[in-house]
């Protein structure tokens, strides 16, 4: 018994600690792909989530484009520091969970590639719980947008 106590005291003094148990941090995210153009009569696709529709009707989106059409929608579970591929109608995207902040916000890195595989967007953002962040590829007159929310 004394030998065990002595070993524990020595370990404590030297700074040897038991490894922490790793937590599996995950978050569920919804990805909504949107086409934005100036061709046609001003409209916002009713299939888009209401919160996304409201964002697109305001500047800077409404000052750049007038027609917004949903191309695809998918949900993915992101694990911390593990990129997850998102198949898009116009190329692909990748989302990586960086961290959960204040239990309700998600910091993630998102990249968007065009159909030829050329990276068009690479951005890290903090997404408020229940809100959408819109990532934009505006390298042409028409826009390619990806609205993201996580919970």
pLDDT 10s digits, 28-72: 999 999 999 999 999 999 999 999 999 999 999 999 999 999 999
pLDDT grade for 140, boundaries at 50, 70 and 90: confident
pLDDT (average), residues 2-11? 42
Rounded to whole angstroms, how far apart are CA atoms 109 and 86? Answer: 13
Asked if the model's pLDDT at residue 12 lies above 60, the reply is no
State the pairing for strand pair 67-79/43-44: parallel
Rounded to whole angstroms, how far apart are CA atoms 26 and 82? Answer: 10
C-alpha distances in Å from residue 26, one per residue of 13, 97, 98, 115, 137: 36, 8, 10, 28, 27
pTM beyond 0.75 = yes
Rounded to whole angstroms, how far apart are CA atoms 62 and 64? Answer: 5
Produce one character per residue of 43-55: b if its CB has 16 or more CB atoms within 10 Å, e if not.
ebbeebeeebbeb
Asked if the model's pLDDT at residue 116 lies above 60, the reply is yes
Q: Report which of residues 91 and 19 the model is more confident about.
A: 91
Q: What is the mean pLDDT of the chain?
A: 88
Rounded to whole angstroms, how far apart are CA atoms 134 and 147? Answer: 4
Rounded to whole angstroms, how far apart are CA atoms 121 and 65? Answer: 19
pLDDT (average), residues 80-102? 97
pLDDT given at position 34: 98
Share of the chain above pLDDT 90, in %: 80
pLDDT (average), residues 114-119? 95
pLDDT given at position 139: 81
């Amino acid at each position: 018994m004394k030998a065990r106590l002595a070993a524990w005291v020595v370990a404590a003094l030297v700074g040897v600690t038991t490894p922490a148990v790793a937590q599996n941090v995950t978050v569920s995210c919804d990805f909504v792909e949107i086409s934005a153009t100036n061709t046609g009569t001003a409209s916002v696709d009713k299939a888009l989530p209401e919160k996304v529709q409201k964002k697109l009707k305001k500047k800077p989106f409404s000052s750049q484009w007038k027609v917004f059409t949903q191309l695809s929608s998918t949900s993915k579970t992101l694990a911390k520091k593990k990129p997850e591929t998102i198949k898009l109608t116009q190329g692909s995207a990748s989302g990586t969970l960086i961290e959960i902040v204040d239990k309700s916000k998600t910091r993630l890195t998102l990249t968007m590639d065009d159909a030829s595989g050329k990276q068009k967007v690479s951005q890290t953002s903090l997404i408020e719980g229940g809100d959408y962040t819109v990532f934009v590829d505006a390298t042409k007159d028409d826009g390619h947008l990806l609205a993201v929310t996580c919970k």
